[in-house]
């Protein structure tokens, strides 16, 4: 795993200046690649590439980047792993033999980067990307066409930012590299801030900065050096990047999917897989489907376990991570290393379950129980670590388990993706059940009930006399939340979308500038229904949208920044595109059954781990955030939420935030997640001002 950065510029730089600039950009992301560093430039063409290396496959100097193809046409900086690169080498060798070339292919080393360059030379960039299996972000310069291509893996495991700064086109693995460029504006995209408050993360293609974007999963952006003469009028805009399924073109640049939900021509499009009518249950029985899934997962785990450095796995004791560890251990000749962290607070730790699974599988298990003080010590690092506002509070334990694992291994496999592909989230069961009941009532009646639920849950007498009789934890809180989520909802899809929103009306807390009359929240896939595939079942629509939004922009972002912050490579076997394609061909009945998700994964896991070690309520990677904000984090939070401070900064309206804060610290309500999104923006903003 590595970090990359660079720029296209028509401004003339002296070689010494460009080397110093690239070095500064690379130094800012040194944590992504502590083992090696390299730069390359062609000042005539105005292209400058930089790379930081974490050596995982071929740790010799033969894997150094930037790397040139043997033919001299392509130069690449690459972050990631191509898991099938050995198979691709065999294919290339066979092609050379078939063409009866006089000189056999001579490899300089055994790095996947060298393989990828050879594929580009033989088949072109787009065809090669469709043939590779892996996770990656890359920038490749075509010296013949004087053309730069940026590309990101199919499911969005690795990040890649790009955008314009004055007369230069910038790109990099993290925003902190782009910020090193002279004159970077640091202008907050206020409309994007609305998306952040709604979802607690910033969805692609947007970033927190104006004119800076993320490459979306499965997409490639091609930029000609000549396009520099046409900036800014013909540069990509946020709206143009979201305008449909056929790609976007401008003068000198093209953005298009090579595998994605928008691509109607790609053989490997997820949308194509969803549209297929030949579900496997049409020609395979249930047991054969399970056997096929297990074989595909075994293949993915085997490919992703290849490394020239120590390798291990995260183990929470849940279904997904336990299955990945079980399949790893099945193929290993010695105990694999597994890692778990727990918290001293009761009800927030799954470490005891992970330990039981590890003992049964006989892994080399390491666990660490953390105090609140140890966990909270991470918080000051979060704005730098995540580089833009990011408010999934499980980022804290995620960083800590990565930090612990890095002491023993360089690569760790995780179980991410299982929920989205196999129906693991609770909303996949509760949304259909609740809507089946409430939809029987006319809309006006539903709205009256919502107002009643919200009002009743606020009144002390009802809280004291009624809700204690209801055998549900925090019944009043849940009634209030249900009333809020159903308020204004007219169909089941709107109900699902309401569950995704932390702040359902972000415009109510966003301050307007002198030139604004209203907040214009940008469009995303979640609000562009014309881009959704035709799926009859709400469960499948939710799984699809989660896989394309929440998974890459929250879950995978969280893991990448946390792990790379300590120089740890993470790999996700569930997100092999072959596993993804198979998952979408399996019928819903083998994913969700009897009100329980991940049925197929459970059946495979029970072959390796007793059912009683696994079956328990889904917990997640939670921390006692609400209690911390009322206790040891209170002074820190009050400093960032100070009313005068909010008014002076001009991003938020103080009153509704202060109201939630007072309700939370008094114990009347639990607003920790809504407040956390504001706090993470405030902490990020404070850190930016320190660096400017």
451-471 pLDDT, tens digit per residue, is 888 877 554 444 544 445 444
> Tell me, what's the pLDDT at 237?
60
Which residues is 40 bridged to in the sheet? 49
Q: Which residues contact 337 (CB under 8 A, 6 or more apart)?
A: 310, 311, 312, 313, 363, 364, 365, 366, 405, 408, 409
CB 207 within 8 A of CB 216: no
Q: Span 227-231, mean pLDDT?
A: 66
pLDDT score of 267 more than 80: no
Supply the pLDDT for residue 214. 95
- Is the pLDDT at 233 greater than 90? The verdict is no
CB atoms within 10 A of CB 249: 14
DSSP 201-254: S--TTB-SBTTEEEPPTTEEEEEEGGGGGGTTTTS--HHHHTS-SS-EEETTEE
CB atoms within 10 A of CB 297: 22
pLDDT reading at 264 higher than 80: no
Q: Using alpha carbons only, how large is the chain's radius of gyration in Å?
A: 25
The reply to whether domains 2-186+219-257 and 280-424+538-613 share a CATH topology is no
Question: What residues contact 445, with CB distance under 8 A and at least 6 apart?
Answer: none
Pairing of strands 364-370, 67-68: unpaired
Tokens of 38: 């390299």
Query: Distance (Å, rounded) from C-alpha 398 to C-alpha 562?
Result: 6
Strand, coil or helix: 681: helix
User: Of how many residues is the chain composed?
Assistant: 692
Which sequence spans correspond to the domains of the chain?
2-186+219-257, 280-424+538-613
Helix (H, G, I), strand (E, B) or coil at 413: strand
Integer Cα distance of 419 and 621 in angstroms: 13
Q: What are 58-116's pLDDT values in tens digits? A: 677 777 889 999 999 999 999 999 999 999 999 998 887 766 554 456 788 778 999 99
Could you tell me how far CA 322 lies from the centroid of its own chain?
21
Angle at which helices 112-123 and 85-98 cross, to 10°: 40
Q: Is residue 144 scored above 90 in pLDDT?
A: yes
User: What is the per-residue pLDDT across 643-671, written as a single tens digit (0 to 9) for each?
Assistant: 999 999 999 999 999 999 999 999 988 99
Tell me the per-residue pLDDT of 27-61, one tens digit each, with 9 for 90 and over: 999 999 888 889 999 988 999 999 998 777 767 77
What's the chain's average pLDDT?
Answer: 87
Q: β-pairing, 67-68 with 219-224? A: unpaired
Question: What is the 3-state secondary structure of 15-82?
Answer: HHHHHHHHHHHHHCCHHHCECEEEEEEECCCCEEEEEEECCCCCCCHHHCCCEECCCCCEEEEEEEEE
- Is pLDDT of 274 > 60? no
pLDDT reported for residue 692: 60
Number of other CB atoms surrounding residue 278 within 10 Å: 8
The answer to whether 475 touches 467, Cβ cutoff 8 Å, is yes
Structure-block tokens of residue 203? 């969805």
Q: What predicted TM-score, i.e. pTM, was given to this entire model? A: 0.92
Residue 343's pLDDT band, with cuts at 50, 70 and 90, is confident
CB atoms within 10 A of CB 95: 13
> Residues 150-156: what's their mean pLDDT?
96
Contact by Cβ (8 Å): 194, 208: no
Mean of pLDDT values over 140-167: 94
For 200-224, write each residue's pLDDT tens digit.
Answer: 999 999 999 999 999 999 999 999 9
| Chain segment 506-555, per-residue pLDDT in tens | 999 999 887 887 888 999 999 999 888 888 899 999 999 999 999 999 99
Domain 280-424+538-613, architecture per CATH: 3-Layer(aba) Sandwich (3.40)
C-alpha to C-alpha distances, 168 to 123, 182, 229, 230, 692, nearest whole angstrom = 30, 10, 10, 11, 20
CB 149 within 8 A of CB 125: yes
Distant-in-sequence, close-in-space partners of 478: CB < 8 Å, separation ≥ 6: 472
Per-residue pLDDT tens digits for 410-442 = 999 999 999 999 999 999 999 999 999 999 999
Contacts of 41 (CB under 8 A, 6+ apart): 15, 18, 19, 22, 47, 48, 49
Q: What is the pLDDT of residues 159-188, one digit of tens each?
A: 999 998 888 999 999 999 999 999 998 899
Backbone angles phi, psi at 449, to 5 degrees: -65, -40
Structure tokens at 116: 């990828």
In Å, what is the CA distance from 362 to each residue of 352, 359, 679? 15, 5, 42
Residues forming a β-bridge with 79 = 137
Please give the CATH number for the structural domain made up of 2-186+219-257. Answer: 3.60.20.10
């Amino acid at each position: 795993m590595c970090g990359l950065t660079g720029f296209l510029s028509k401004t003339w730089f002296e070689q010494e200046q460009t080397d110093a600039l690239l070095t500064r950009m690379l130094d800012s992301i040194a944590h992504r690649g502590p083992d090696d560093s390299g730069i390359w430039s062609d000042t005539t063409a105005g292209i400058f590439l930089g790379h930081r290396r974490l050596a995982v496959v071929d740790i010799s100097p033969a894997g150094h980047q930037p790397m040139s193809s043997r033919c001299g046409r392509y130069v690449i900086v690459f972050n990631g792993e191509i898991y099938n690169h050995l198979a691709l080498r065999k294919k290339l060798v066979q092609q050379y033999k078939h063409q009866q070339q006089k000189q056999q292919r001579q490899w300089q080393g055994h790095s996947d980067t060298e393989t990828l360059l050879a594929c580009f030379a033989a088949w072109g960039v787009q065809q090669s990307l469709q043939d590779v299996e892996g996770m990656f972000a890359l920038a490749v310069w075509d010296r013949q066409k004087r053309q730069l291509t940026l590309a990101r893996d199919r499911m969005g495991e690795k990040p890649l930012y790009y955008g314009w700064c004055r007369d230069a086109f910038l790109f990099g693995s993290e925003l902190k590299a782009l910020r090193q460029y002279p004159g970077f504006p640091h202008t907050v995209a206020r409309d994007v801030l609305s998306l952040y408050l709604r979802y607690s993360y910033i969805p692609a293609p947007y970033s927190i900065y104006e004119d800076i974007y993320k490459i979306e999963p499965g997409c490639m952006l091609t930029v000609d050096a000549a396009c520099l003469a046409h900036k800014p009028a013909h540069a990509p805009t946020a709206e143009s990047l979201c305008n449909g399924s056929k790609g976007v073109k401008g003068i000198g640049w093209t953005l298009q999917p090579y595998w994605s939900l928008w691509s109607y021509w790609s053989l490997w499009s997820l949308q194509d897989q969803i549209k297929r009518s030949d579900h496997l249950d049409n020609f395979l029985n249930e047991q054969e489907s399970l056997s096929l899934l297990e074989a595909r997962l075994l293949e993915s785990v085997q490919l992703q376990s290849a490394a020239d450095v120590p390798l291990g796995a995260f183990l929470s004791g849940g279904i997904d991570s336990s299955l990945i560890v079980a399949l790893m251990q099945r193929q290993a000749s010695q105990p694999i290393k597994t890692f778990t962290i727990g918290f001293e607070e009761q009800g927030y730790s799954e470490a005891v379950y992970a330990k039981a699974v590890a003992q049964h599988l006989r892994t080399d298990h390491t666990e660490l129980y953390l105090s609140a003080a140890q966990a909270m010590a991470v918080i000051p690092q979060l704005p730098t670590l995540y580089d833009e506002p990011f408010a999934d509070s499980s980022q804290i334990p995620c960083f800590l388990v990565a930090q612990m694992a890095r002491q023993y291994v360089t690569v760790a496999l995780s179980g991410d993706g299982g929920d989205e592909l196999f129906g693991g989230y609770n909303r996949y069961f509760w949304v259909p059940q609740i809507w089946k009941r409430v939809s029987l009532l006319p809309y006006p009646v539903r709205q009256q009930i919502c107002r009643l639920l919200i009002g009743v849950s606020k009144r002390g007498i009802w809280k004291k006399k009624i809700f204690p009789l209801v055998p549900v934890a925090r019944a009043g809180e849940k009634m209030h939340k249900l009333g809020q989520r159903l308020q204004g909802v007219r169909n089941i899809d709107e109900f699902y979308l309401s569950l995704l929103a932390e702040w359902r009306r972000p415009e109510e807390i966003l301050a307007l500038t002198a030139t604004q009359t209203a907040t214009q929240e940008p469009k995303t896939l979640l609000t562009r229904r014309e881009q959704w595939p035709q799926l009859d079942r709400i469960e499948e629509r939710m799984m699809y949208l989660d896989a394309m939004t929440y998974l890459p922009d929250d879950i995978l972002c969280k893991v990448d920044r946390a792990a790379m912050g300590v120089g740890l490579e993470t790999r996700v076997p569930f997100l092999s595109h072959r596993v993804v394609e198979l998952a979408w061909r399996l019928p819903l009945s083998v994913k969700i059954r009897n009100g329980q998700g991940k049925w197929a994964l459970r059946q495979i896991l029970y072959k390796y781990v007793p059912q009683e070690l696994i079956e328990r309520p889904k917990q997640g990677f939670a921390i006692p955030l609400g209690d911390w904000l009322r206790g040891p984090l209170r002074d820190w939070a009050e400093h960032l939420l100070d009313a005068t401070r909010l008014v002076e900064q001009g991003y938020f309206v103080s009153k509704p935030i202060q109201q939630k804060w007072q309700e939370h610290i008094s114990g009347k309500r639990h607003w920790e997640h809504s407040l956390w999104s504001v706090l993470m923006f405030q902490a990020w903003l404070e850190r930016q001002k320190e660096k400017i």
